[in-house]
Amino acid sequence: MNFQIVLLWSDALLWLLLVSVLGFAGLVLRSEPLRAAWGKIGASRKGMAAATLLVVFVLIALLDSLHYRPRLPDMAEGRPVYGVEVYSLLDVVLTQARTRLEKTYSAPFATRLYAKENIEQADGRRVRDYPRLKHGGTHLGDAEDGVAADAFVTALKGWALALALWILLAAALTAALAWRRGMTVRDSWRPPWRCRDGLAWDAVLWTLALILLLAVPLALLSADYHVFGTDKVGQSVLYQVLKSVRTALVIGLVPTLVTLPLALLFGLLAGYFGGWLDDVIQYLYTVLSSIPGVLLIAAAVLMIQVVIDTHPDWFASAVERADLRLLALCFILGLTSWTGLCRLLRGEAMKLRELDYVQAARAFGVGHTGILTRHVLPNVMHIVIISVVMGFSSLVLSEAVLSYVGVGVDPNMTSFGTMINNARLELGREPVVWWSLLAAMASMFILVLAANLFADVVRDAFDPRTV
């Protein structure tokens, strides 16, 4: 093979979460109450639009979670030799943006660098001017004034292609719905995709239209320009934004693997049994909550960084080193964020243990384990689902804050937090480099907004007080 597959721990956890979600979807299909609750989400246009946008982010993260090392042309004792650099499928898709490096900063759609340099003329004179970029706008030649017109024409082509792709998607969806219901495509086409089969397909299609109208022109323009500009080392900011999506999703999802077991175990035990066990668990999460979270995370990350620095032989590449710190950060965030959910589950379990059906099960001799798993746990899952979905945004934002103060992900790992931290220094120079900060904040805003909108719909669907 011309490559060697590299499986990072974060890759395995992301794919494990995907398999878990698919397994949960199968459980939903077999459970009438769960199917009814998720049906409310599917019938919500706001929920389906937000879910569509989140699916796009997840697809980008999954492409960035398939890693490999390329094979080198040299051989060592007849065995293949692989490079040290680790790439992902997203790097392959973004090869042009990844490899077209400039010397330093350049503004969006610029044809010259953002800072003046001494340029030697053909006659030997040296003048101070803005040098031409190696890649951005080079197809224009000397006609640098035609950037706006050329970008507009390219954007028009992108919008036409996006419209054609959207029509194909709409036709495919309509045909699939017609086949499912045994109708003709003409009958299924009118009215246009509104809440068919209880699902708000119209919201999905209009959201896809907006995504295509943005993504397709962006892809065409990025072939000739740096549409989001470049950073200090001349790397495309658009490439950094797309690479940051995986880090944000890992930070937002993986800590739940630590939070849920602790919160479920301690919360249900404290609420169901009470007594001295309840006192011990309350004391535990009260003490943990009294410690400032940022200080606890900073101390843990710094200790782990010392371990990483003193054992460089543990890692075959810098990517594996950065991945370990990312996982450590996720583990620490999980350890410090389970107390809130534990309190909620404790209170709910205290209420459920006094209900008639739980008392009846206890009178018939059902054991504590059976009562907890069959009667208590299913009736607190709505709290778990709401907490997990609503906690995603907080975890994504916490990574930005932690990276800003220097205790977040590894500096060599691209994330929204590291982009914002690097842009902080760029804002103090003259002229101001604003595009890196704007791109990172806008992308994180879209991701968090979609997650919050979806969380609102999930809360309304599962919260018994809103039924």
Q: Provide CB contacts within 8 A for 421, sequence distance 6+.
A: 403, 404, 406
In a domain, 381, yes or no: yes
Number of domain units in the chain: 1
Question: What is the tens place of the pLDDT at every residue in 299-345?
Answer: 888 888 888 888 888 887 788 888 888 888 888 888 888 888 899 99
In a domain, 426, yes or no: yes
Q: What percent of the chain has pLDDT over 90?
A: 27
| CATH number, residue 438 | 1.10.3720.10
In a domain, 350, yes or no: yes
pLDDT value at position 244? 92
Q: Please tell me the distance from the alpha carbon of residue 418 to that of residue 425, in angstroms, as a whole number.
A: 11
Cβ(444)–Cβ(414) below 8 Å: no
Asked whether residue 109 carries a pLDDT value surpassing 50, the answer given is yes
Question: What is the tens place of the pLDDT at every residue in 259-270?
Answer: 888 999 999 999
The pTM of this model reads 0.89
Tokens 């710190």: give the residue: 325
In a domain, 297, yes or no: yes
In a domain, 20, yes or no: no
Range of the domain at 295: 243-462
Burial bucket for residue 466 (CB in 10 Å: 0-12, 13-18, 19+): exposed
Cβ(131)–Cβ(117) below 8 Å: yes
Kindly state the tokens that stand for 358. 């739980």
pLDDT value at position 192? 46
Q: How many CA atoms lie within 13 A of 106 on its CB side?
A: 30
Cβ(200)–Cβ(44) below 8 Å: yes
In a domain, 356, yes or no: yes
Kindly state the tokens that stand for 443. 């992308």
Question: What is the tens place of the pLDDT at every residue in 355-403?
Answer: 888 888 888 888 888 888 888 888 888 888 888 888 888 888 888 888 8
In a domain, 371, yes or no: yes
Question: What is the tens place of the pLDDT at every residue in 87-96?
Answer: 999 999 999 8
Question: What is the tens place of the pLDDT at every residue in 5-48?
Answer: 888 989 999 999 899 888 988 888 887 878 888 888 888 899 99
